[in-house]
């Protein structure tokens, strides 16, 4: 079925043309499985692993449904996509924009960490599609900037992650605010109790599609465990792996850990950037852009980046800290070997982590190759990350200089600004 064309699955010709333009010509298994039902207006529960193409599986029916319909009224969007992180919302927007432009639909993102005014203005203009994180959307609804009573189609992306992060109550409130007869599409990498609650309460006679087995790691993904004898070996081993050609994503358990590892890799000559919850939205965007563009070759992240962050050609994923549970392992590992490409996943294991890593591998349904490594000179490292090592130095953010003004213009020099004292007196007295 995955060999079918998008047209054969029912995708309108204008949207198929947009996909063709972006080099997307063959549906992935999850797209081939779900599109006929979702395009027909049915409620769909789709499970496919990270990197399986779930985003287009819900964007295509969403755009097809809204195309040619009435323009959204102020504050009343026609479609809602809920996702757990700002990064994922932005990436969904990136995929949606060309399709929405073709269909004449307006799009508004809604998430925290940035000022709400541009989001309020976008909603007031009448956004057809809102891509949102639950928290900020609830805030805007409470302030009466948004109303979900006109929603025709609701999508939950990474639904299992929403349940994990405690978004479930907010998601239930938001879905309750959408019309009962609207279409609902729920996509997730795993299906568990939290998801079942949402399915029973909000989906009407859903068609269930599972495009692969629940624990199936990507077929082209190699799993390795490097058994280190001491914690001090972590950075030298990480630096050697990251110095190989290609992009590397390194995962840590904590924000502090991500910050520290990125800094230490920088000292070792690796252009690395960090991604975690302590960063401002601008810093997150800047760091991800540096990684996307190749100016930084290594991304050091907490689990915030395990879901939905899509960067092409990530050759290597390294669990510098083994995750606490197998779902996180599978999601983290899904940053490589995307859309049929091959990839390598490496877990660094210290002596006191042996039992935990073995349990993790069993639960994740993988059989990794374990190698004892005594430092960065071990030949397995070149095997896992082949190629000539390069250490150009730490990543340095590009700082754009403001344009220089002619001498005497706005320099802050009092002599060049006659009347500045008079203006200060006016401000102090309130006269103008």
CATH number at residue 270: 3.40.50.300
Instruction: Tell me the C-alpha distance between 102 and 154, whole Å.
Output: 21
Judgement on whether residues 170 and 269 belong to the same structural domain of the protein: no
Backbone angles phi, psi at 331, to 5 degrees: -70, -45
Confidence check: pLDDT of 200 > 50: yes
- Give the pLDDT score at 51: 66
Judgement on whether residues 31 and 92 belong to the same structural domain of the protein: yes
Judgement on whether residues 247 and 324 belong to the same structural domain of the protein: yes
Q: Last residue of some domain: 210, 229, 257?
A: 210
CA 351 to chain CA mean position, Å: 33
Q: Indicate whether 215 belongs to any domain.
A: no
Instruction: Tell me the C-alpha distance between 162 and 167, whole Å.
Output: 5
Domain that holds residue 76: 13-210
Which residues touch 24 (CB under 8 Å, ≥6 apart)? 56
How confident is the model over 102-118, as a mean pLDDT? 95
Question: For the segment 286-342, what is each residue's pLDDT rounded down to a tens digit?
Answer: 998 899 888 999 999 988 765 656 666 788 999 999 988 887 787 777 666 444 455
Q: Indicate whether 245 belongs to any domain.
A: yes
Judgement on whether residues 309 and 166 belong to the same structural domain of the protein: no
Classify burial at 4, counting beta carbons within 10 Å of its beta carbon; exposed 0-12, middle 13-18, buried 19 or more.
Answer: middle
- Give the pLDDT score at 299: 94
Q: Indicate whether 425 belongs to any domain.
A: no
Instruction: Tell me the C-alpha distance between 151 and 206, whole Å.
Output: 18
Question: For the segment 209-245, what is each residue's pLDDT rounded down to a tens digit?
Answer: 887 544 444 445 789 999 999 999 999 999 999 999 9
Judgement on whether residues 239 and 380 belong to the same structural domain of the protein: yes
- The 8-class DSSP code of residue 403 comes to P
Judgement on whether residues 74 and 132 belong to the same structural domain of the protein: yes
Q: Indicate whether 413 belongs to any domain.
A: no
Q: Is 108 helix (H, G, I), strand (E, B) or coil?
A: strand
Judgement on whether residues 245 and 189 belong to the same structural domain of the protein: no
Q: Any bridge partners for residue 349, and if so which?
A: 227
Judgement on whether residues 183 and 62 belong to the same structural domain of the protein: yes
Judgement on whether residues 194 and 281 belong to the same structural domain of the protein: no
Contact between 368 and 224 under an 8 Å Cβ cutoff? The reply is: yes
Confidence check: pLDDT of 130 > 80: yes
The CA-based angle 192-193-197, given to 5 degrees, is: 120
- Give the pLDDT score at 163: 73
Judgement on whether residues 162 and 231 belong to the same structural domain of the protein: no
Judgement on whether residues 205 and 279 belong to the same structural domain of the protein: no
How confident is the model over 359-366, as a mean pLDDT? 89
Confidence check: pLDDT of 411 > 60: no
Backbone angles phi, psi at 417, to 5 degrees: -125, 80
Task: Tabulate helix, strand, coil % of the chain (nearest 5).
Answer: 40, 15, 40
Contact between 353 and 183 under an 8 Å Cβ cutoff? The reply is: no
Question: For the segment 24-67, what is each residue's pLDDT rounded down to a tens digit?
Answer: 989 999 999 999 999 999 999 998 766 678 999 999 999 999 99
Contact between 54 and 157 under an 8 Å Cβ cutoff? The reply is: yes
How confident is the model over 369-382, as a mean pLDDT? 93
Mean pLDDT of the chain: 85
Judgement on whether residues 186 and 293 belong to the same structural domain of the protein: no
**In the β-sheet with 207-210, what is the strand arrangement from edge to edge?**
107-110, 129-132, 79-82, 153-156, 183-188, 44-47, 207-210
Q: Indicate whether 132 belongs to any domain.
A: yes
As for how many domains the chain has, the answer is 2
- Give the pLDDT score at 364: 84
* CA nearest to 275, candidates 266, 257, 265: 257
How confident is the model over 384-407, as a mean pLDDT? 76
Distances (CA, A) of 230 to 106, 151, 321, 385, 409: 54, 55, 13, 21, 60
Confidence check: pLDDT of 154 > 50: yes
pTM of the predicted model, to two decimals? 0.64
Distances (CA, A) of 401 to 280, 354, 404, 408: 21, 50, 8, 19
């Amino acid at each position: 079925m995955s060999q079918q064309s998008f047209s054969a699955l029912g995708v309108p010709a204008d949207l198929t043309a947009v996909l063709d333009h972006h080099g997307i010509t063959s549906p992935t298994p999850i797209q081939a499985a779900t599109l006929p039902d979702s395009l027909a207006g049915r409620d769909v529960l789709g499970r496919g692993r990270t990197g399986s193409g779930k985003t287009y599986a819900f964007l295509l029916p969403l755009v097809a449904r809204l195309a040619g319909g009435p323009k959204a009224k102020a504050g009343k969007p026609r479609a809602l996509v809920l996702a757990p992180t700002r990064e994922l919302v932005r990436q969904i927007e990136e995929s949606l924009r060309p399709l929405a432009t073709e269909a004449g639909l307006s799009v508004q993102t809604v998430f925290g960490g940035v000022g709400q005014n541009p989001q309020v203005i976008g909603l007031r203009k009448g956004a057809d599609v809102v891509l949102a994180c639950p928290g900020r959307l609830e805030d805007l609804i409470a302030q009466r900037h948004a109303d979900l009573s006109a929603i025709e189609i609701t999508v939950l992306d990474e639904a299992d992650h929403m349940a994990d992060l405690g978004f479930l109550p907010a998601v239930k409130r938001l879905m309750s605010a959408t019309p009962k007869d609207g279409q609902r599409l729920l996509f997730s990498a795993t299906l568990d109790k939290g998801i079942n609650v949402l399915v029973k309460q909000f989906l009407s006679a859903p068609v269930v599609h599972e495009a692969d087995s629940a624990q199936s790691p990507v077929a082209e993904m190699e799993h390795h465990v490097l058994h280190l004898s001491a914690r001090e070996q972590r950075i030298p081993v990480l630096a050697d792996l990251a110095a190989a050609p290609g992009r590397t994503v390194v995962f840590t358990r904590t924000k502090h850990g991500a910050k520290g590892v990125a800094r230490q890799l920088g000292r070792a000559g690796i252009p690395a950037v960090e991604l975690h919850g302590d960063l401002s939205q601008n810093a997150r965007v800047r760091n991800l852009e540096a990684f996307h563009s190749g100016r930084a070759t290594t991304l050091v992240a907490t689990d915030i980046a395990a879901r939905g962050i899509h960067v092409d050609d990530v050759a290597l994923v390294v669990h510098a800290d083994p995750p606490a549970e197998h779902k996180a392992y599978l999601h983290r590992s899904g940053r490589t070997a995307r859309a049929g490409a091959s990839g390598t996943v490496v877990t660094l294991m210290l002596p006191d982590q042996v039992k935990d890593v073995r349990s993790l591998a069993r639960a994740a349904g993988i059989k990794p190759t374990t190698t004892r490594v005594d430092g960065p000179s071990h030949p397995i490292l070149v095997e896992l990350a082949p190629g000539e090592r390069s250490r150009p130095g730490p990543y340095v953010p590009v700082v754009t200089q403001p344009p220089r003004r002619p001498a005497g213009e706005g320099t802050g020099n009092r002599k060049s600004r006659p009347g500045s004292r008079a203006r200060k007196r006016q401000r102090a007295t309130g006269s103008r």
